[in-house]
Structures are given as C-alpha cells and as structure tokens.
Amino acid sequence: MVACLDRFSGKKILITGGTGFIGPHLARALGRSDAEIHVVSRKISTTSPMNPRYWQSDLSEIATTRTLLKSIRPDVIFHLAGYAVGSRSLEFVLPTFQSNLATTVNLLTTATDLGCSRIVVAGSLEEPSLNNNEEVIPSSPYAAGKWASSAYSRMFHELYKTPVVIARIFMTYGPGEPNPNKIIPYVITSLLRGTSPKLSSGKREVDWIYVEDVVKGLILAAQSPGVEGCTVDLGTGALRSIQKVVETVVDIIGSDVKPLFGALPDRPMEQIRCANTRVSRVKIGWKPETSLENGLRKTVAWHKEQL
C-alpha cells in the first residue's frame, strides 16, 4: 500500500503536538493535500493561520478538549502531543501524566462522543514489553504514561468501537528536532562547535528511524482499512548502539573532537527493542526507506545550515 494524500481530500485533520518534532513534519506533508489541516499545541505559533490553522490549547483539560473538537469536528486525528523526557526523576511524574495520559484519555473520550473516522495515537518504544513470566514495570514516568495511553486506546476500541490505531514510534531523528538535549542533535552541535559531547557508555542498542519515514507510516496508519485497535511499529527492525551512531556522526562531520563516553552514568532499566516491521508491512503496507547513514547525513547538513 502506498500513502495517497488524495484520500484526505476535503477532510478535516487535527494534529496534536504541532510544535514538537514529528508534528511539523507531518503538517507539511499533509499540507500538500486538499485537506483542511488544524494543528494544536500548548505553545503559541507565529506561523500563518491559513493552512494549517494553529490553535493554542491545553488538552489535559477535558472542557478545553471538548470545545476544540466541537469547533473543528475533525475526520482524522493524529495524537502526537506529549512530554517526551526519559528522566527517572520524581519531578516528571505529574507533567508526563498530564501531557501523555490525560490528553489521550480526554481526546479519546471526546472523539468517541462526537464521532471521528480515524485516530492515530503515538505510542513509544519506551513502553515495557509484555513478558509471560515477569512483572511488567515501566522504566520511567514517560514510559508509564505511554504504556497507559496505549492501554486506554485498546480499551476504547474494544468497548466503544473507537476507530483508533496505535503507532508505536521508535527512536526518531532528523532535521528540525527542537530539543537540543536529544542524543543526536546534542552530539552534532557539540562536534560542530568543537566541544566534546559528554555521554554515557553508549552501549545501549536502539532502533533508529528517520522522521520522514515515520511521517509516511503515520499517514498510512490513518488511511489503511481494517486496522482499528491494532498496534503498528514504526522502526527499522534493526538495532545500532549509541556508540556506533555517535561514531558515524563523527565520521560524517570529519571531526577530530573525541566524544567522552562514560562521562555520564547509564540510565537504569533502558528498553532494548527493535520494531516488528513485518507486522507493519502486512497491516499498513509500510516499510522504512532511509538508511541510518543517509538519514544522519541529512540531519548533519540541516544542523550545519542552522549554525
């Protein structure tokens, strides 16, 4: 199956988390269709209000969520809003609960009540794996929020027939990442400025996926028939250690600066998981197209332009 923007012609599309990382890429892609695009964020956007139209709203409040959806009456919703921080600190429990779980429950409740043809909820690789013989424990407040959000999504589909699809997104990278503390932008900007990035051991293996591939997967998840209630993985299906990725970035830049591996402690309970791309290919006809090296080259080029 190939993503076809014509299928969105004449429809109203709502993207939550519009000023994050993936949201703007998705909005630009959908902007090439004849759909009416609405983007919501807690932050104020100075972008032109024509198409997409930007709304400033806090979806952790049920009354605000209901007012917004009544005003827009979206046919398709991409729920990307969330507080994406992997810290284990107590201070992030309430922010991740409000931003990741409360927004999802409010959105699902309101969309189910008002009606909607498809909701794509962003899951995460950080959600704990289900093991038959072990108690499942989320590794962080963020992981717990995402795990609970996926559980609520499955419940809404089972009980209320809500047309929701969970897109479990793996470690996304690429141009436009607004968080300079994420591993790839942090390493790139440090090297370009001649500063040694301080890192953990780098031994953790991760499934890295380029942002434009994620966007294509999200679009397919929104238009593929018969996948309501399903979870599809958006990753490459291959693991590469953080150290290997950092070394690749060093080679691409041609830097003599040495990354400082081991300068920071490893975080406990890190998830090591690769995407089940076979299921994604069968369910929505999606597969990644960008190699890690090509994606990193595009990302480095973007950062050079910014600096």
Cis peptide leading into 52, omega within 30 of 0? Answer: yes
Cα–Cα dist 121/106, whole Å: 12
For the chain, the helix, strand and coil percentages under 3-state DSSP, each to the nearest 5: 40, 15, 45
Average pLDDT along the chain:
91
pLDDT of residue 133: 60
Cα–Cα dist 124/145, whole Å: 10
Domains and CATH numbers, the chain: 5-174+209-236+274-289 (3.40.50.720)
Which residues of the chain carry a pLDDT beneath 50? 48-49
149-155 contacts, C-beta under 8 A, 24 or more apart: 149/100, 149/101, 149/104, 149/105, 149/121, 149/123, 150/121, 150/123, 150/231, 152/101, 152/104, 152/105, 152/108, 153/104, 153/108, 153/119, 153/121, 154/229
pLDDT tens-place string over residues 25-72: 999 999 889 899 999 988 766 554 455 889 999 999 999 999 999 999
pLDDT tens-place string over residues 162-202: 999 999 999 999 999 999 999 999 999 999 999 999 999 99
pLDDT of residue 136: 75
